Amino acid sequence: MPLIDTHAHLFDDRFAKDLPAALARAAAAGVERVVCLGIDAESSRQSVAIANAHPLVVAAVGIQPNSAAEAQPGDWEAVVELAEREARVVAIGETGLDRYWDRAPFDLQERHFAAHMALARRLNKPFVIHCREAEADVVKALRAESANGPIRAVMHSFSGDAATASACLELGLYISFAGMVTYPTAQNLRDIAREVPLDRLLVETDCPYLAPQPVRGKRNEPAFVAHTAALLAQVKGASVAEIEEHTTRNAKALFGL
């Protein structure tokens, strides 16, 4: 069965020398699609260029909360134009809120998050949420947004608590797990993953960061999403084929693939 890596940063310099080879390894490992997400205007442009050059890749465009303070005049308009114009843009993001890195004033992050959600709704595309130590704030913003209608979104690289997961599921979100869920210290995440219904589960690498335990310390790459899928199969008492089938179906439904 195929897999979909729902969150990758292939524009990162660490892929500059071997991106075609990394994508070939992903295909050999059963990955049928990789979603490459921008974190600012320039990396959003790069993500689109990569998607246009490589059939395995689709793009998402946005300004990540930690990039919000560096955004220049015209950057948001450039993201909007990419989202409107480029056929291989399947989502808006990544966006969200972050209280861990003190890189952008929180009210600025909130304004950016609201703008991304509004753009996603206008274009009928899903959005991808980055959340670090801001779970209550994100849930509050999502509840406010849900007044405008159903939400199509994913909580990426989930690292919150059970109450946050429950609130996200109640709001109709998907929950995606990255390599962190495989780490020996992450039993709390495995406990949460066990309770996430199969029809709301996604897998991702967040590469080049967060390589799963069997390859920890290496540069992460899309092929390694198979390690996370295998761990989730153990946690949920399911076969790897079941995890692949459900997460792939979910990704296709969310991103319209």
Domain definitions of the chain by residue range: 3-255
- Residues comprising the chain, all counted: 257
When pLDDT is cut at 50, 70 and 90, the band that residue 102 belongs to is confident
DSSP 3-state assignment of 47?
A: helix
State whether CATH 3.20.20.140 applies to domain 3-255.
yes
Q: Give 1's DSSP letter.
A: -
pLDDT in tens, 73-98: 999 999 999 999 999 999 999 999 99
DSSP 3-state assignment of 162?
A: helix
Q: What value does the mean pLDDT of the chain take?
A: 97
Q: Which residues, in sequence order, are bridge partners of residue 89?
A: 59
DSSP element (H, E) containing 6:
strand 3-8
Taking residues 104-117, report their average pLDDT.
Answer: 96
User: CB 188: neighbour CB atoms within 10 A?
Assistant: 13
pLDDT in tens, 134-190: 999 999 999 999 999 999 999 999 999 999 999 999 999 999 999 999 999 999 999
Taking residues 19-43, report their average pLDDT.
Answer: 98
- 200-228 in b/e form (b: 16+ CB < 10 A) is bbbbbbbbbbbbbbeeeeeebbbbbbbbb
pLDDT, position 193 = 98
Q: Give 171's DSSP letter.
A: T
pLDDT, position 252 = 98
Tokens of 30: 């059963």
DSSP element (H, E) containing 104:
none
Whether the full predicted model's pTM is greater than 0.85, yes or no, is: yes
pLDDT, position 91 = 98
- 197 sits in the region (left: phi over 0; alpha: psi -120 to 50; else beta) called beta
CA 9, CA 208: separation in Å to the nearest integer?
7
Give, rounded to a whole angstrom, the gap between the first and last alpha carbons of the chain: 16
Which segments within 74-160 are labelled E, that is strand? 89-98, 127-132, 153-155
